Amino acid sequence: MKRFIWGIAIVAIATTLALVGIVKADNDHDRDDRFEFKPDTLVLSRSVYAGTASTITPGVTTLPPGCMAGTVVLPTIPNPALKTNVTVACGVASDNGEYPNTNDAHNVWNNDSVDGSFGVTSPIFLDNITSDGKLLGTLPIPTHLLVTSFSSKSELAVNRSLDGKSITFVGYRGGPGCPVTTFVAGIGTPGNVSGPVSPTAPNLFDVSNSNTPGVCDPTNPVVSSGGATPTAYYRTVAEVDADGHIRITEGNAYSGNNGRAAIKGNWTYYLAGNDNNGGLGSKATEKPTPNGLANTQVGINLVTSTGAELLVPFQAMPPTPPNINMIGDFEIAQAGYPSPPAPDKPGKDNNFRGLTIFNNTLYTTKGSGGNGINTVYQVGNAGTLPEPPGLKSVPITILPGFTTTLASGQALDLSKGNPVAFPFGLYFANADTLYVCDEGDPTVVKGQMINGQPNVATPGTIATAGVQKWHFDGAKWHILYVLQNGLNIGFPYAVPSYPAALNPATGGCRNITGRVNHDGTVSIYAVTSTLSFNADQGADPNKLVKVTDLLSATTLPLPAGDGDHDRDDSLGVFTTIRAAQAGEVLRGISFAPTDRDDDHDRDHDHDRDDHDKH
């Protein structure tokens, strides 16, 4: 077994150009060959799998690529003579690179069984659609600029900036690889010079669990995105304006995991995500005691660059530790949990994913992972967006009335087996009305029949997943009801050219947006989550759905309305306005950016150049 010793060397990052100039993606949907998002429309982010059978060779391809099985030895702080040992395990591909299909039994996602970090990069597309799902145009993001991880369900949230003039999302962009480890007599010592710039392209492996160039974790089994040369990837914010111009800003947060969402407010990017894919802090892999997240430099770098983050747009160099701008730090002890179970695994209580800004206040959610509390959080004080200095001391608090039960099911009274929430996206209709997408429990139930049909959802998912409506009474939030009618939660649906054995069912919803209408109704748009027997549910074809709710309503609309065939007969009933095909996933939803200062559209035909006359 190989042993590695990680010296606390400063990694010299000869970074690539961090600020990429404006990129214009051509599109054929405009008659003047210029792409533009039409006003008062939606933007849907999605990805399409680009791999083939030859992308992976079963029994040959090492997973994760470049992985070196053995024991990583790290010096501790403050006494480097004391060491902590972390075991790293590797595997070999069990299947080829084919997406599930009806021609054979191959399934690329079966490789999850041998590689817990498994993922394949894929291209990003931004679809401009009407409120009924009609496609108006597509902006493909150049794959040399940014990619996503196809099966990573928490990625590619799309958020419109507070001024309405741009949208943002997070992707991966290659940076200098982490230093190479060299071996002498079986003991490995990393160098202090970064490797070559990592490729940015489709069909790279495990990028969503890769290190970032500025936070290199030698206990992370993901050494490379392909081959033996170490790679590392910036978690990069892309900002896209109404004319399809793309500008990117690279960041070093979220090493070992993914950046889920970004939103621009007050000329600042606010992000949500998670980090740490290595063995530090795990009883199963770190010996003699799992304290490496607190007493090694690598661990400290990880726990101070996760959760809620601030990134300055278009900065010349991505910040590195200790200058990565993590906002606050939530720990379950703040909710009143004694020790044990508090403190939890360092950093993992901040495993955030949903993100929004309302009334100049930042909100986020946690809804996955075995640590922390799956609930809705306020980041900072009401009415004040976090700004430096003092970001570390920014309070992160659970919204009063939302659950404080641990993700393990343990409650404050230490009782166990309690229901767990799975919140994702957030939409405030007003200061007292909050719609929350609950993704549902990912557990799949076998052999269950409901109303004579197979249903794979747990009772908890059937009861609470979907769009939850919450009301604030001035002191705390109360759930009013859950919009589910038409989602058909737990009932599998067919997808053309997709194996019937893997047919997905809707499990709830992930990202969300909405709008209050003049008639007092609210239009909600949500991207669904899935349940299936696929090895990775994040790769399932899912849906974009729409539902209308009455803003003032405090009770769930009747299943069939009142029968007089007027407006209220459709309230609370979901309709599918886009459905992913085999090999496609839908991710984020937002209203389109618009440049309200541009008055060149004199013919009011939604074309900014005024060339298209009727």
pLDDT, tens digit (0-9, with 9 covering 90-100), for 191-219: 678 889 999 999 999 999 999 999 999 99
User: In this structure, what token pair is assigned to residue 545?
Assistant: 């759905």
> What is the CB-side half-sphere exposure of residue 585 using CA atoms within 13 A?
30
pLDDT average, residue stretch 93-106? 98
Q: Look at the chain and count its residues.
A: 614
Asked whether the beta carbons of 368 and 351 are under 8 A apart, the reply is yes
Residue 345 — very low, low, confident or very high, per pLDDT cuts 50/70/90? confident
What is the reported pLDDT for 560?
62
Residue 31: its pLDDT value, please? 34
Compute the mean pLDDT over every residue in the chain, rounded to the nearest whole number: 90
> Which long-range contacts does 450-457 make (Cβ < 8 Å, 24+ apart)?
450/490, 450/491, 453/491, 454/491, 454/492, 455/490, 455/491, 455/505, 456/490, 456/492, 456/505, 456/531, 456/532, 456/533, 457/489, 457/490, 457/505, 457/507, 457/531
Per-residue pLDDT for 597 more than 90? no
Helices (H), 216-358: 292-295, 297-303
Residue 11 above 60 pLDDT? no
Residue range 150-175: average pLDDT? 98
Residues with Cβ within 8 Å of residue 222, at least 6 apart in sequence? 64, 65, 66, 67, 117, 206, 209, 210, 211, 256, 277
The per-residue pLDDT for 567 is: 58
Does residue 461 have a pLDDT over 60? yes
**DSSP bridge partners of 335:** none
Say if residues 176 and 268 touch (Cβ distance below 8 Å). Answer: no
- pLDDT score for 383: 97
| Residue 544 · residue 576 · CB < 8 Å | yes
For each of the domains in the chain, give its residue range(s) and CATH number, in order of start.
Answer: 2-591 (2.120.10.30)
User: Which DSSP string do the residues of 433-464 spell out, in sequence order?
Assistant: EEEEEE----PPPSS-EETTEE----HHHHHH
Residue 608 has pLDDT above 90, yes or no: no
327, 380 in Cβ contact below 8 A?
A: yes
Virtual torsion, Cα 340, 442, 121, 135, nearest 10 deg: -130
Q: How confident is the model at residue 484 (pLDDT cuts 50, 70, 90)?
A: very high
**Encoding tokens for residue 446?**
């076998």
Rounded to whole angstroms, how far apart are CA atoms 135 and 127? 7
Mean pLDDT score, 531-556:
98
Burial class (CB in 10 A: 0-12, 13-18, 19+), 306: buried
The string of DSSP codes covering 98-118 is PPP-SSSS--GGGGGGT-TT-
Q: Which residue carries 């549902």 as its tokens?
A: 440
pLDDT of residue 236: 98
Band the pLDDT of 3: cuts 50, 70, 90. very low
Residue 70 is predicted with a pLDDT of 87
pTM of the entire predicted model: 0.92
Q: What are phi and psi of 99, to 5 degrees?
A: -70, 150
Is the pLDDT assigned to residue 596 strictly greater than 90? no
For the segment 22-47, the average pLDDT, to the nearest whole number, is 71
Instruction: Decide: 534 and 150 in contact? Cβ < 8 Å.
Output: no
Determine which helix (DSSP H) or strand (DSSP E) holds 74, and give its type and residue range: strand 70-75
Residue with tokens 């200098």: 176
Write the CA distances from 463 to 401, 406, 458, 467, 490, integer angstroms: 18, 19, 9, 11, 11
Residue type, 579: A
pLDDT in tens, 222-269: 999 998 899 999 999 999 999 999 999 999 999 999 999 999 999 999
pLDDT of residue 124 exceeding 60, the answer is yes
Specify which residues 529 forms β-bridges with. Answer: 508
Residue 529 clears pLDDT 80, i.e. is over it: yes
Nearest of 281, 414, 405 to residue 338 by alpha carbon: 414
Strands annotated E in 274-380: 286-287, 307-311, 325-326, 355-358, 361-366, 375-379
Instruction: Please state the rounded mean pLDDT for residues 290-310.
Output: 96
> Do residues 500 and 529 touch, judged by C-beta distance below 8 A?
no
Backbone torsion region of residue 561, taken as left when φ is above 0, otherwise alpha when ψ lies between -120 and 50, otherwise beta: left
Q: Where is average pLDDT lowest: 31-40, 120-129, 429-438, 534-543? A: 31-40
Q: Higher confidence at residue 564 or residue 9?
A: 564
CB count in 10 Å sphere of residue 459 = 12
Q: Which residue has the tokens 């209408």?
A: 517
Q: With contact defined as beta carbons under 8 Å apart, do 195 and 229 qualify?
A: yes
